[in-house]
Structure 1
Amino acid sequence: MTQNLHNRSTGAAGLCRAERFGLRKSCQTSQPHRRPHDLGYRRCGDRCQLSKAGPAVNSPSINQNAPEPLAEIEKRVLWLSTAMIHHANRVRPNPSGLKVGGHQASCASMVSIMTSLWFGQLRSGDRVSVKPHAAPVLHGINYLLGELDESYLTTLREFGGLQSYPSRSKDPDPVDYSTGSVGIGATAPIWGAIARRYVDASLSGAGTGRQYSLVGDAELDEGAVWEAVLDHSVAELGEIVWIVDLNRQSLDRVVPNIAATRLERMFSGAGWQVITVKFGALLESLFTRPGGTALRERILDMPNPEYQRLLRCTADEVRLRLPGDAADADAITSLINDLDDATVLEAIRNLGGHDLDALREAYAQIDDTRPTVIIAYTIKGRGLPTQGHPQNHSSLLTTEQYEILAAELGMDPSKPWERFEADGPSGRICAETAERLARPKVEHLMPPAVPKDIGRTPSGTSTTQAALGRVLLDLSREAPDAAKRVVTLSPDVSSTTNLAGWLNKVGVWSPNERHNWFADDAETIMHWREKPTGQHMELGIAETNLVGLMGELGATWSRWGQPLFPIGVMYDPFIERALEPWSYGIYAGGQSIMVGTPSGVTLAAEGGAHQSIKTPSIGLEQPGCVSFEPAFAVDVEWTLLDSIGRLGRPDGSSSYLRLSTRPVDQALAAVPADPAARERRRRQVVAGAYTLRHNPDPAITLVGMGATVTETLVAAERLGEQGISADVVCVTSPGLLFEALQARRGLADGPSWILDQVFPSSRSAPMVTVLDGHPHTLAFLTGINNVPGAALGVSRFGQVGSLEDVYRYHGLDSDSIVRAALDLTS
């Protein structure tokens, strides 16, 4: 069974495809079928005569010593991906006994697609997102292209070696997109296409190229995939090409209801070009014979599990099961009874996703004026003994099966990593492909300087959310070079998150310029001017799309050497919805700023469903991210500028700002007038905390964050009236304080000076912490000086009501703070 994949494409030079299936009569055409550079053969269609009398598919009469070079590469890629996984699981010592894994069957279903793509289709400007479980196929191809050292082939899923799934930041060989969590990698090239277009239009230097996604059919269950497909701007991105590996299997089973026709309608309805590659040359030729139409309809109409079962049958069983019980079953019986056993078995496996010529013809049909999806019918595990088995997703070949496969592919199991001879046909193709795909080294342009302090001292009453828009406008005046690289994004909440002024100034990004029909409407305050150079992007109500785009905009510094400053703004309650793809973007090197606003139960009128509780600790815990929750407008300015200054560089990082719609008296910030004192305050703000009220001999330390600082200050005054002096500390970043504490204890690297300035041991006192979020976020602060403490915050679903009622309900009001302080000081 495992020989069929390879023998179908190892014909002698000059033979047509049907002849190489071992069928008796040659193609009735006088033209040679050889394509340039030995990259394949044209399909001769119905001009080939089929007969049972011909030799079997694996007949020795076929010249095994003159293989088609691309098919030889296909075999080697299958072998390398299988061998890498085999070595990781069966050869490499595993003292722990824990499963290693590696998905041999999922790799095998992608081998033909990826071989045809890399060695016949891709150009240097193209980029490919590889489905997670096909990572070993990617590494095998990179090895053949000279992009991966042989020493890494034994390190799959080993510490410091090849990652479980493609990783831009951790794998040693070229990886265009990090994938792993299904659905995220599939949509990444869409956002990569927008990022490339934006860079090229605004800054230049991104070039051109298609953006490919290699998608497993089970990934299409992810709702985020369809959010991206349906976005209105995507239909204009002609460089997008998805190739769906339609193997009809998931981890647990054969999926009964995956219907290509339904997928075709869904993509087509979204404006995509749909190309379906169903069958290979052998089946297409059989369909032209008497009974062929009935055979075609039978295969197309049978349920997925029934078809998969045929893949596990002998030739006699196929002859019995395949015709079915329809009226035209006899015609099918007559057709397949005229074929030898090997041809029957090969025919039932002859799907288009494993036919190099069929795939090449599909690529030739791509329409670059709109997105394209190629739905390629495949078999999970194609070419392996496990092919088509309903539970082959995580199965591994036994050592005996592995050795049999090696014999069939002409490989030596004791020397599994052999490359092709450099002067042979396959070796030359590898060299030519490597040269064609070579990219120039990316020269990283250092981002323009970002000011640390614009110099405003806000007065009156304002919100931290409103300060966001003002800071962006100030930046455009004070540092236009830096502001030019700012890209803001929002999911249909631009006006309600105070971005209207910024949006009016910079315009809205669109693949093509659109007429603004409300430009002359005097009552229209926010002007929606859409153009390719607009600096604001809006993707509709789909937070996962937003953060996917943020990640790709934040990776332009590494792709094309052009740093951007992406700032995404969304309602804070929906941060958790977007967290996974945002985290993945950070993992892949995408540096961005997430702004969550409005936040917490302070959003009292919206009720419990729209009140975020866990987000402060998310900012504390997210790797590669600095979190800030400023209390005052000047804190927003300083933390946002600091966050922008971290972007677009090899040692950069992302940031998360949690803002509020609560009006606060800005005089409470008590910003020092002296320039040196002001700078000291700024440095403390961006380091995590500052002392807001200082008493000579404090009996209690009150620590507030964000919107609750007002209640914290009121509580301090009330305690003072009772003769209990209180220091008030305003925390701006619990994450930075925790890192400082870890550094002080020798558990991490980094500065710890902020602890000495804001929490000196000489002023240690019992501590009450309070925030509009889960109390554990600040609870660790008592450990700085090992003092008694009380942690106030939100640990229940919210309630709708006035701010006073809601704060009282959760114990965030000044009464609750005073009571907690009295408990600690009495």
Structure 2
Amino acid sequence: MNQITLAEQHDTSDQPVTADQPTTGAISTVGVGAAQGTGGGAAGGNSGVDAFGQDPSAAFAPQYSDPSLQVLAEVEQRVLWLSTAIIHHANRVRVNASGIKVGGHQASSASIATIMTSLWFGQLRAEDRVSVKPHASPILHGINYLLGSLDEKYLTTLREFGGLQSYPSRAKDPDPVDYSTGSVGIGATAPIWGAVSRRYAGKVSGKPSMGRQYSLVGDAELDEGAVWEAVLDSGTSELGEIVWIVDLNRQSLDRVVPNIAAGKIERMFDAAGWQVITVRFGHLLESIMNRPGGDALRRRIVDMSNPEYQRLLRCTAEQVRDRLPGAGDDAATITALIQTIDDDTLLRAIRNLGGHDLESLREAYAQIDDTRPTVIIAYTVKGNRLPTEGHPQNHSSLLTLEQFNTLGAQLGENPDAPFSKFASDSAAGRLCAETAARLEREPYPIVEPPAVPADFGRTPSGTATTQAALGRALLDLTRAAPAAAAAVVTVSPDVSSSTNLAGWLNKVGVWSVNERQDWFSDDAETIMHWREKPTGQHIELGIAEVNLVSLLGELGATWSRWSQPLFPIGVLYDPFVERALEPWSYGIYAGGQSILVGTPSGVTLAPEGGAHQSIKTPSIGLEQPGCISYEPAFALDTEWVLLASLGRLGRPDGTSAYLRLSTKPLDQQLASIPEDPAARERRRRQVIAGGYVLRAAEHPDATIVTMGVMVPEALEAADRLLAQGTRAEVICVTSPGLLYEALQGRNGQDDHAETWILDQILPAAKAAPMVTVLDGHPHTLAFLGGINRVPMRNLGVSHFGQAGDVTDVYRYHSIDVDSIIRATLDVIA
């Protein structure tokens, strides 16, 4: 008796949905038609046994009367085999010295093999892009191998260092990948934001947006809230190039999901303005349901719970005949119907779901309406045609060596030489060659982004906030560097006015697929003008931060996708950066370069209450790979770091940036900007590198290091300490992350880090006991004492805040002037 091996019990993924009653309205169902291939096995035949008394279903190969579909079925079978063999080699053949599980997803790959084969070899065009569900990466590798875009040497490297990635990756895979996936829900929605980015880049370049944007979605991904945030965004319904194909296999990691939800999913997409096409049954099963008594069979299967249906897939023909009729009023009618069908046809029929029927899928593609988004809901079987087919725990199961060899024999493949291609003169070989030629893309050259000035040359005076400085700098950019300003695209949820983008928005307009009339343009009391047009440079989404950063990631990847570098800037309330962090981080991983602005920030938002006070965001900025974080104190600091961050976007060696800004007004005279041009440039370079000496002391007794809005408190503390005879030097940090990298570089742990900034702001000759203070978690700056190995105290916010006056709140968190003085005297003592 064969056994199912469960090698990846702790892996997360598909937690699917199920069968439901057909719906009406704009939702259509395909797969109703004449039978194609009713099978030819003898009645009463038996196919052997496995753990549940049933032979691997590879024996039930699909059959089509259309020769082109039969050739496509041959390719599908090879794709299924290759994906299974790629995973098998990684787990059963390759030496595993560490003993740590490798894994892979043979059942999840088998579930979507038909869909992906039909899409690549029958539908895709060179201009189309596809996001592949994470656990189907072996199918993608198998397809690209047959198309000649992946070398055979990589097929043995799944999840190996430097080899094929666990999930599709634009940044790390040797295989051509359109969208990085792997974090459930993010890859599914990426083509929506890719479509917006493609249209926007086309607006900038003058080249029309072309091609569909496909998402191959595991049904479990529909459990992710981010999916519905994207589907329901008001702009999504205008993107006719969006096509989602839902692999509805109704299984999760642990079980067959019992609740019937497919009808609800159909209605939700329909309500969002999507075209809904459901591919429920294949042509063989439909042909049986069209016979006398077929309506009863249809009702029985549609009403059947998922676990009961899945159990049928593990049964012999005799057991199916016993179980399928059920105990309802239609039992006798169903029994009489299936008595007219031989065993082989019966076993084929219960597996003949629409997502495994090439003809039904082809009919579904033909119905796509390119004027609005489309979702194709394709019913499938997890583990289709594998020995683990339909087993409730097959998500992470791996075929045994015996099962793999048996599968090879049934598919006509050689397990000892599993990675073969079709002969070039065969029908399948010609189809692969024709598909490869059709999908060949012209390479997109890397285009140098427009130059960004380093300094506008003005020195702010009076009182200003860093949040307001952002909007002012964007407007200044339109005058000083029009080409660079034209590459800027700002994105926000519904907070454009409250984050000081109103002036920029009035200047450049709001981007929209279609132009809309501004009915308040002639209202004298309207300050912010909402002019929506295809040439606008601001995109506002609903209050969904995940959508915002997902769009940022795609806008930030246009330099590598379509040779159109953009400067995307996303603005949101800083407390919600954590909500948006995962998809933004994933966008950076996938090559998207953008600037994320969190404003206002910290407990300085005292009247807003504890829920709107960000504590950990400075640390997040310090630790985020591929990102340089800044928290400027003054308007000119903000201008300089913004321009420097823009200059790092849209290039192969580029980086993203996170700017933490505030609405606390500061006296700009405190910045003490040097008047001498050379000294000013020195200050600018220090600001960009991570910090500068704001108030020097020749022989300091202590060093007070501060950041952002805490500068006035640090300076006042230094004044009062000096009155007591204690000399304190004040350092203004603009980027803790860059200073940490400099320290790592000095220690020989980062070959690329520049260390000069440490010598200029924290020289060993002036080492003194240190106090750090910021409006954020104190550990953000706690590493600075290690530069010169001095005693230190770290002040900051380490518990939830309170509403109230800023003075009271600063005192509550011990970051007020008195607390800084006490900490300084303590550390000196």
Q: TM-score, normalised by structure 1?
A: 0.93
Distance 1:257 1:597 in 2: 43
AA matched with 1:818:
I
Kept in 1, the 8 Å contact 2:60–2:348? The answer is no
1:745 maps to 747
Distance 2:484 2:323 in 1: 68
Deviations 1:584-618 (CA, angstroms, capped at 9, x unpaired) = 00000000000000001011011111100000000
Measure how far apart 1:52 and its partner are: 8.9
Q: 1:73 to 1:169 in 2, by over 3 A?
A: same
Q: 1:780 to 1:588 in 2, by over 3 A?
A: same
Measure how far apart 1:53 and its partner are: 7.2
1:322 maps to 324
Distance 1:706 1:174 in 2: 43
Kept in 2, the 8 Å contact 1:52–1:338? The answer is no
Question: Could you say what the CA RMSD is over the residues aligned between the two structures, in angstroms?
Answer: 1.9
Secondary structure at the aligned position of 2:408 is classed as: helix
Aligned mate of 2:251, from 249, 252, 264: 249
2:136 maps to 134
Measure how far apart 1:207 and its partner are: 3.9
5 Å-filtered alignment, 1:148-547, equals 148-205=150-207, 207-547=209-549
Distance 1:89 1:50 in 2: 35
Q: 1:431 to 1:267 in 2, by over 3 A?
A: same
Deviations 1:57-83 (CA, angstroms, capped at 9, x unpaired) = 9699x999x992211110010000000
1:8 maps to none
Is 1:760 aligned to 2:760, yes or no? no
Does 42-51 or 587-596 show the bigger shift?
42-51
2:581 maps to 579
Q: 1:48 to 1:427 in 2, by over 3 A?
A: closer
Measure how far apart 1:519 and its partner are: 0.7
Distance 1:500 1:240 in 2: 31
Is 1:597 aligned to 2:635, yes or no? no
Measure how far apart 1:316 and its partner are: 1.5
Distance 2:232 2:718 in 1: 53
1:707 maps to 709
Kept in 2, the 8 Å contact 1:205–1:560? The answer is no
1:22 maps to none
2:811 maps to 808
1:695 maps to 697
1:685 maps to 687
Distance 2:40 2:315 in 1: 22
Kept in 1, the 8 Å contact 2:40–2:345? The answer is no
1:555 maps to 557
Secondary structure at the aligned position of 1:691 is classed as: strand
Measure how far apart 1:261 and its partner are: 1.0
5 Å-filtered alignment, 1:774-813, equals 774-813=777-816
Kept in 1, the 8 Å contact 2:44–2:343? The answer is no
Measure how far apart 1:314 and its partner are: 1.4
Q: 1:782 to 1:466 in 2, by over 3 A?
A: same
Measure how far apart 1:273 and its partner are: 0.1
Deviations 1:66-123 (CA, angstroms, capped at 9, x unpaired) = 9922111100100000000000000000011111000100000010000000000000
1:772 maps to 775
Distance 2:434 2:39 in 1: 37
Distance 2:535 2:638 in 1: 27
Distance 1:193 1:277 in 2: 25
AA matched with 1:69:
V
Measure how far apart 1:798 and its partner are: 0.5
Kept in 1, the 8 Å contact 2:285–2:352? The answer is yes
Secondary structure at the aligned position of 1:158 is classed as: coil
Deviations 1:340-377 (CA, angstroms, capped at 9, x unpaired) = 11211111111000001110110000000000000000
Is 1:639 aligned to 2:641, yes or no? yes
AA matched with 2:561:
R
Distance 2:202 2:365 in 1: 26
Q: 1:784 to 1:50 in 2, by over 3 A?
A: closer
Distance 2:32 2:41 in 1: 20
Kept in 1, the 8 Å contact 2:41–2:344? The answer is no
Kept in 2, the 8 Å contact 1:48–1:285? The answer is no
Kept in 2, the 8 Å contact 1:130–1:213? The answer is yes
Kept in 2, the 8 Å contact 1:43–1:357? The answer is no
Kept in 2, the 8 Å contact 1:125–1:207? The answer is no
2:23 maps to none
Kept in 2, the 8 Å contact 1:51–1:339? The answer is no
Measure how far apart 1:321 and its partner are: 1.3
Kept in 1, the 8 Å contact 2:39–2:348? The answer is no
Measure how far apart 1:258 and its partner are: 4.2
Measure how far apart 1:307 and its partner are: 1.0
- Gaps of at least 5 residues in structure 1 are 3-41
Kept in 2, the 8 Å contact 1:80–1:416? The answer is yes
Kept in 1, the 8 Å contact 2:38–2:284? The answer is no
Secondary structure at the aligned position of 1:266 is classed as: helix
Aligned mate of 1:824, from 804, 809, 827: 827
Q: 1:53 to 1:795 in 2, by over 3 A?
A: closer
Q: TM-score, normalised by structure 2?
A: 0.93
- Gaps of at least 5 residues in structure 2 are 3-30, 48-58
Is 1:650 aligned to 2:642, yes or no? no
Is 1:73 aligned to 2:62, yes or no? no
Deviations 1:528-573 (CA, angstroms, capped at 9, x unpaired) = 1001111000111000000000000000000011100000000000
AA matched with 1:598:
P
Displaced runs of 4 or more, over 4 A = 46-60
Distance 1:300 1:51 in 2: 26
Kept in 2, the 8 Å contact 1:315–1:341? The answer is yes
Q: 1:637 to 1:258 in 2, by over 3 A?
A: farther
Distance 1:301 1:525 in 2: 58
Secondary structure at the aligned position of 1:116 is classed as: helix
Measure how far apart 1:226 and its partner are: 0.3
Q: Higher relative contact order at CA 8 Å, sep ≥6: structure 1 or structure 2?
A: 2
Q: 1:453 to 1:714 in 2, by over 3 A?
A: same
Secondary structure at the aligned position of 1:450 is classed as: coil
Deviations 1:665-707 (CA, angstroms, capped at 9, x unpaired) = 1100000010000000000000000000001110000000011
Kept in 2, the 8 Å contact 1:546–1:568? The answer is yes
Secondary structure at the aligned position of 1:567 is classed as: strand
Does 252-261 or 412-421 show the bigger shift?
252-261
Measure how far apart 1:205 and its partner are: 3.3
Kept in 2, the 8 Å contact 1:643–1:655? The answer is yes
Distance 1:818 1:71 in 2: 77
Aligned identity (percent) is: 72
Kept in 2, the 8 Å contact 1:700–1:725? The answer is yes
Kept in 2, the 8 Å contact 1:774–1:793? The answer is yes
Measure how far apart 1:444 and its partner are: 1.1
Matched positions, count: 785
Measure how far apart 1:464 and its partner are: 0.4
Distance 2:259 2:643 in 1: 51
Measure how far apart 1:204 and its partner are: 2.5
1:606 maps to 608
AA matched with 2:776:
G
Q: 1:702 to 1:44 in 2, by over 3 A?
A: closer
2:16 maps to none
1:147 maps to 149
Distance 2:106 2:41 in 1: 34
Distance 1:462 1:187 in 2: 39
